Amino acid sequence: MPLFYTQNINETTRLAVWHITEPEAFFNKIYIPRHEISHPHKRLQHLAGRFLLCLLDAAFPVNKIQLDGRRPYLPDNSYYFSISHCSDYAAAIVSRQFPVGIDVELVAEKLLRLEKKFLNEPEQLLIRRKKTNLTMVSQLTLLWSTKECMFKWYAKGNVDFRKDMAIKDYTLTGDAEGIASAHFGKEVDASCTTQFRFFDNLCLAWLAQPPH
Ligand SMILES: CC(C)(COP(=O)(O)OP(=O)(O)OC[C@H]1O[C@@H](n2cnc3c(N)ncnc32)[C@H](O)[C@@H]1OP(=O)(O)O)[C@@H](O)C(=O)NCCC(=O)NCCS
């Protein structure tokens, strides 16, 4: 079942996650990349992300996407959007209303070694004091994914994950979903409320809110 999760956040903001099981030709019906992507699996992920944008909104002008470095954008700003992929999964969020960011990550042990690179001291304390059913590696994945979606929401790049973002708390609101509250402090002071959801060993985080 390729499309395995969708959520309507409001009338003009939607997200979806796709499990990639199709060959490239399936996605090429919608979109053909304009730049060379030599690695076949990376090309497939890229195609699946663009495909999802069109699935979320049939009028999405996917062929008008430009790149600022690796960051995709539409010159006429007709939509806010964000894409993420990992392994055989792609996720996308589209909004007519709010800047957005999305991230999808596999829950992976490697984050146990990387914790200090992306969490500041208060966050390292928070994760140890937190009373939750989530494992340490799930919590780390959740916090990494949360910071990645905030990075994409901000869109201007050059963000220090330890200094410019501070996750204040995170709470499960259901069996596998929840919200995180955070502060984004580069150039601006913004309070962010991100959302997350686990699907087995996959973690999805997203943010859709007014600009900083
Ligand atoms: C580039 C980055 C945003 C995403 O890279 P990634 O590992 O390929 O992760 P994802 O699959 O989640 O995202 C890829 C998508 O993000 C989007 N993207 C790339 N650069 C972006 C940027 N600067 N801003 C917003 N979106 C971006 C693209 O849509 C890309 O997919 P596409 O090339 O198929 O269009 C991320 O890795 C990054 O640079 N993060 C900041 C790193 C950092 O500062 N770390 C310090 C703490 S240790």
> Which amino acid belongs to residue 89?
Y
Give the pLDDT confidence of 59-69 residue by residue, as tens digits.
999 999 999 99
- Amino acid 1: pLDDT: 54
All domains of the chain, ordered by start, with CATH? Answer: 3-97 (3.90.470.20), 104-208 (3.90.470)
For ligand 1, atom 23, name the residue with the nearest CA: 71
Give the pLDDT confidence of 173-183 residue by residue, as tens digits.
999 999 999 99
Cα–Cα distance measured from residue 65 to residue 156, given in angstroms and rounded to the nearest whole number: 17
**Cβ < 6 A, ligand 1 pocket:** 46, 49, 70-72, 83-86, 103, 117-118, 148, 151-152, 155, 157, 159, 161
Distances (CA, A) of 184 to 5, 55, 127, 205, 212: 28, 31, 19, 16, 9
Query: From the CA atom positions of the chain, what is the Rg in Å?
Result: 17
Atom number in ligand 1 closest to CA 114: 48
Give the pLDDT confidence of 27-73 residue by residue, as tens digits.
999 999 888 899 999 999 999 999 999 999 999 999 999 999 999 99
- Amino acid 212: pLDDT: 65
Ligand 1 center from residue 189 Cα (angstroms): 22
pLDDT score of 172 more than 80: yes
